[in-house]
Structure 1
């Protein structure tokens, strides 16, 4: 059984690590942030970061059966815009988690959200997926930064 406190702690730590990564990305020339790098599903640093944020926002909207029009990198052209979007999304997810009881957090959804393609899961399972998804793409950004000659600082949950 997951707890609200546990999910909130992991979610907060994930956003802190993403903030560290974005701070490092801010030191990279903009043309390199947007440079297409073969071998990645989202082939630029910028596309990866926008993907992480739009997925979190969309999935949390889905959990609440709220429409999500989506947005793209054009709606978020600068580091400052990206940081503002990240803060908005972090707060919305935190507010959603706080609105649930531990029982609701762990109960399998009984209705399929309109845009949901997977099997029905609990909000806790989906929120844990938000976190692991962010770490997967954060790792891809770190790899891209190495390729471009801008190795990132340690962005693990627990620095080693």
Structure 2
């Protein structure tokens, strides 16, 4: 199962690379523009949010490793965002190394005053589908800024 998830994550990183390549064609000022229709978030802040969700669910929750969160104000360019995702990729490798043979073992965590029980497979699925949700939002944001979004799906033409 570990190999399957690693291969699946490689598909995720391919789609992410397509998004990042597209975002590099967007003016940096536009990447940082807060959009009222997205709760005054910017394209870069959306991508940072996703990286932080990986950090929370993989490191903090599943591996009980409390690393510092990525800071929105520190990310001023796609190079900054890419550095965050290099750390995300390392976390995925650590996570799969730790849980790759135990994906259905329950993990329990106190969250918002309630005990939450999931499995490593649920956590992995949650963070990757969460990334795709926000990837769509980033593309929509770029459209609102006057750009024509690129194809960033796992299967691209």
Shorter-chain TM band: 0.7 to 0.9
Deviations 1:75-120 (A, max 9, x none): 2322212112212211221222023242x211121x3267896731
Q: Name 1:105's counterpart in structure 2.
A: 103
Contact kept in structure 2, 1:17 and 1:155, CA below 8 Å? yes
Q: CA deviation at 1:41?
A: 4.3
CA distance in 2, matches of 1:17, 1:90: 14
Q: Would you say 1:24 and 2:36 are equivalent positions?
A: no
Q: Which has the higher strand share?
A: 2
Provide structure 2 residue ranges, at least 5 long, that are not aligned to the other structure: none
Moved more, 71-80 or 60-69: 71-80
Distance verdict in 2 for CA 1:101–1:13, change over 3 Å: closer
TM-score, length-scaled by structure 2: 0.88
Find the residue that maps to 2:116 and give its secondary structure: coil
Q: Name 2:84's counterpart in structure 1.
A: 85
Contact kept in structure 1, 2:51 and 2:70, CA below 8 Å? no
**4+ residue stretches of structure 1 with deviation over 6 A?**
114-118
Root-mean-square deviation over aligned CA pairs: 2.1
TM-score, length-scaled by structure 1: 0.86
Q: Name 1:142's counterpart in structure 2.
A: 139
Bigger RCO of structures 1 and 2 (CA < 8 A, at least 6 apart):
1
Count the aligned residue pairs.
156
